[in-house]
Structure 1
Amino acid sequence: MNTASFLLYCFIVTFTPGPTNIMILSTLKSSGTRQALRYVYGATLAFGLLLVLSAMLNTALATILPRLLPVMRVLGTLYMLYLTYKILQNGHEKDTSETTGSLRAGFLMQFLNPKVVLFTATVIPSFVLPYYTSVHSVVWAVASVTLIGSLAFASWLGFGTLFKTFLQKHDTATKLVMALLLLYATAMIWI
């Protein structure tokens, strides 16, 4: 296995903007660090679970995933459009931080996030299983990738905390940029 390529792929995919990272920033801005941290916990748990499922079911996924992708595209698109709406409405409705910035929301987002689903479905079978099949090796790989994902989520949380005052000062522009980035991520599902 080319460890450098594996790690580079993991870091690029997890640290670049995507629906989960944008929602972490949005939750942090609207509900604070504590609520965003709950979201990060949920996202990390689901991320690790998806990696475990991928490692355990990689052969089944190879036959099921092509049939499941159209459904995931539609569900993921609808959910991401809903999140875009929530970002734009944040502050104009009742406080929704308990539902959009919760551990459960972070957990569920991962299963509807096409970027995460495709990444977790491909990283272990592509980089690890062709070279290592022992349980110990696969567990190490899953734990390593989960740690990298957790660090990515934590970095978005940390930088969001540092820039929270700036983000709140420019609330309308921040919401618009986050909504546009989420719409861009949604459009990328179909390209």
Structure 2
Amino acid sequence: MAILVVGYTPGPANIYALSMSIRHGKRRVLNMWLGLLVGFSTAIFILALLTHLLGTVLGSYIGYVKYLGAAYIMWLGWKIYHTSGQTKKDNRDCTFWSGFIVQMTNAKILLFDLTCFSSFVLPYSNRLFDLLVVSAMLLIAGPGANLVYVYIGTYLNHFFSKYSKQSDIVMSLALALCAIYIVLN
């Protein structure tokens, strides 16, 4: 249940996926979502491997990732606000690599994944296989939730396009709040 709550509540990758789907529609945003999927998979595989090799020692250092993630999230928020009102063809932010970077710096998911490893796996096993099984289940919380936000954005595209400036401001502020929350926690 915690996986679903953390994964499906608004966070940096979900808000970014929603914003890009509103601007670009389902066809183009699925390429960006593929970047989210690959970025999440890469990040969680690296975390699983490091957790296997270093155990709980990794937990004391992963907190530094949050500052990099918060800075990138603030940049995303500024970019959404700054490009508000531009036509779809003018905006180049909806790419595989933008999705990949969002997930690789998504401190919310990285910290949650590490918490899952240290709470649900490490007390019982340090085997890489067990960590990878939990990693596969966490795909539901990361890219699975991102895809839900993509479809919500494409479904509500007509509504949001009427109020594009206002929705861009709200998304930018939501990303800024995510970044502030990450830094303060």
Aligned with 1:147: secondary structure? Answer: coil
Which of 16, 21, 45 is the matching residue for 1:52?
45
Instruction: Select between 113-122 and 57-66 the one with higher mean Cα deviation.
Output: 57-66
1:15-164 pair list within 5 angstroms: 15-58=8-51, 60=54, 62-67=56-61, 69-70=63-64, 72-91=65-84, 95=89, 97-98=91-92, 100-164=93-157
TM-superposed deviation, 1:12: 1.1
Letter in 2 for 1:158: Y
Instruction: Select between 108-117 and 54-63 the one with higher mean Cα deviation.
Output: 54-63
| Root-mean-square deviation (Å) | 2.2
Aligned with 1:131: secondary structure? Answer: coil
TM-superposed deviation, 1:136: 4.4
In structure 1, how many angstroms separate the alpha carbons of the residues matched to 2:80 and 2:102?
15
Provide the residue aligned with 1:5 in structure 2. none
Change (3 A) 1:76 1:142: closer
Contact 2:36/2:100 (CA < 8 Å) preserved in 1? yes
Contact 2:35/2:96 (CA < 8 Å) preserved in 1? yes
TM-superposed deviation, 1:170: 0.9
TM-superposed deviation, 1:119: 1.6
5+ residue gaps, structure 2:
none
Q: How many residues matched?
A: 182
In structure 1, how many angstroms separate the alpha carbons of the residues matched to 2:174 and 2:63?
22
5+ residue gaps, structure 1:
1-7
Which of 175, 178, 184 is the matching residue for 1:185?
178
TM-superposed deviation, 1:53: 1.8
